[in-house]
């Protein structure tokens, strides 16, 4: 993501690689979560419950169908969840520094309480919600998702969170709302990275309304059964598993419902490199590196990058008829 210093993918991977290999874990053990947790959760799927079958089928694709669940369950048998250590020590969070180790080091004192989120724009029920009021009405679900960074590394992360569509329903968006933007807190006193013009702060990204309402889209509040660590975006962050990681905004303080496609931070900083849609697509390279392969943190060999990060069955119908090279 660096725009000043052209990122050298090779070097950014070699350094952490030795460290990860040394502490690689083969099964989830942390946080009191056992094999039952892993087994019950469908990688890339829709949580583990019959609950999810209520998801409305979209034309041509039925995100909540049993077929999807089976497909994703098979994927889960082949992919290991990354360790808690991997997930919490190798981060992108430029508010706390641009090196992968910076967020863990610099975010420990960040205050996540009290916290509130402002909802405004084209909704019937706007307001400012304290964290508990926002989260408490909902059931927190387990979702094991791949995370694919635009820099060509990836992880598998066991999140806990709330389907964004459930939260959005409470705000009663108007039919005129076509996009929703997510804004990270602006607090240069606490966030050393915001004292430098690395990006245009505060960090903003956005989804089309149908993307925001997709059953896979999550507001994460935890991982590995623990509250979300500060470096991963506490107290709440977006997770959109079929898009490059930069769409998944951390430390959200605002959601705005708007009529037209908003300006987003990375897209504005380098429009040729970071598209608005940012769907994971092995056929559309970044101008400076291939997107056809990726390094799974903890593995030696690169693996093939999957269309929509492996969630094509669930999300491809959202983009039917669109030119994915132009709308990258």
Which stretches of the chain bind Mo ion, using CB under 5 A?
92, 149, 245-246
- What x-and-dash track marks residues 222-261 binding ligand MTE by CB under 6 A? ----------xx-----------xx-xxxx----------
**Least Å distance between CB 264 and ligand MTE?**
11
Cis status, amide bond into 126, omega within 30 of 0: no
Q: Which of 69, 147, 162, 234 binds ligand MTE (CB under 6 A)?
A: 147
At 59, list the tokens: 């034309």
Judged by beta carbon, residue 94 or residue 115, the one nearer ligand MTE is 94
95 binds ligand MTE (CB under 6 A): yes
| Contact stretch for ligand MTE (CB under 6 A) within 10-18, 52-60, 92-100, 131-139 | 92-100
Q: Which of 81, 149, 234, 240 binds ligand MTE (CB under 6 A)?
A: 149
220 binds ligand MTE (CB under 6 A): no
Q: Is 309 left (phi over 0), alpha (psi -120 to 50) or beta?
A: left
Closest CA to 180 of 232, 108, 118, 136: 118
**Least Å distance between CB 266 and ligand MTE?**
8
Q: How many residues bind ligand MTE (CB under 6 A)?
A: 18
Contact 284, 328 (CB under 8 A): yes
The phi, psi pair for 181, rounded to 5°, reads -100, 150
Judged by beta carbon, residue 115 or residue 203, the one nearer Mo ion is 203
For residue 154, the partner it binds in Mo ion, ligand MTE, none, with Cβ less than 5 to 8 A by kind, is none
Closest CA to 280 of 153, 149, 164: 149
At 223, list the tokens: 């991982």
**Least Å distance between CB 181 and ligand MTE?**
13
In the window 189-218, what residues touch ligand MTE (CB under 6 A)? 203
The phi, psi pair for 191, rounded to 5°, reads -115, 95
Q: Which of 89, 91, 230, 264 binds ligand MTE (CB under 6 A)?
A: 91
Judged by beta carbon, residue 41 or residue 232, the one nearer Mo ion is 232
Judged by beta carbon, residue 246 or residue 277, the one nearer ligand MTE is 246
294 binds ligand MTE (CB under 6 A): no
For residue 217, the partner it binds in Mo ion, ligand MTE, none, with Cβ less than 5 to 8 A by kind, is none
For residue 153, the partner it binds in Mo ion, ligand MTE, none, with Cβ less than 5 to 8 A by kind, is none
At 181, list the tokens: 């933007």
Q: Which of 154, 160, 184, 264 binds ligand MTE (CB under 6 A)?
A: 184
For residue 221, the partner it binds in ligand MTE, Mo ion, none, with Cβ less than 5 to 8 A by kind, is none
Which positions touch ligand MTE (CB under 6 A)? 1, 91-95, 147, 149, 184, 203, 232-233, 245-246, 248-251
């Amino acid at each position: 993501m660096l725009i000043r210093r052209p990122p050298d993918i090779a070097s950014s991977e070699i350094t952490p690689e030795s460290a990860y290999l040394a502490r690689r874990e083969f099964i989830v053990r942390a946080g009191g979560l056992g094999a039952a947790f892993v087994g019950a959760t469908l990688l890339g799927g829709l949580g583990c419950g019959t609950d999810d079958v209520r998801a409305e089928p979209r034309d041509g694709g039925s995100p909540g169908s049993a077929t999807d669940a089976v497909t994703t369950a098979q994927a889960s048998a082949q992919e290991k969840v990354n360790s808690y250590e991997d997930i919490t020590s190798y981060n992108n969070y430029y508010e706390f520094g641009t090196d992968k180790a910076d967020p863990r080091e610099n975010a420990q004192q960040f205050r996540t309480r009290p916290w509130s989120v402002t909802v405004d724009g084209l909704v019937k029920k706007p307001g400012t919600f304290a964290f508990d009021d926002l989260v408490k009405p909902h059931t927190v679900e387990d979702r094991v998702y791949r995370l694919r960074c635009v820099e060509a590394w990836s992880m598998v992360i066991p999140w806990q969170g709330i389907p964004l569509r459930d939260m959005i329903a409470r705000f009663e968006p108007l039919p005129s709302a076509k996009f929703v933007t997510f804004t990270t807190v602006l607090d240069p006193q606490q966030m050393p990275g915001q004292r430098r013009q690395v990006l245009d702060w505060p960090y903003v990204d956005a989804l089309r309304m149908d993307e925001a309402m997709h059953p896979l889209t999550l507001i994460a509040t935890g991982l590995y059964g623990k509250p979300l660590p500060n470096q991963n975006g506490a107290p709440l962050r977006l997770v959109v598993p079929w898009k490059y990681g930069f769409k998944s905004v951390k430390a959200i303080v605002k959601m705005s419902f708007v009529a037209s496609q908003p300006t987003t931070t990375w897209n504005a900083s380098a429009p040729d490199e970071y598209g608005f849609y940012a769907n994971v697509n092995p056929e559309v390279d970044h101008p400076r590196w291939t997107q056809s392969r990726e390094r799974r943190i903890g593995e030696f060999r690169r693996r093939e990058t999957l269309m929509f990060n492996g969630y094509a069955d669930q999300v491809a119908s959202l983009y039917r008829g669109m030119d994915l090279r132009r709308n990258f």
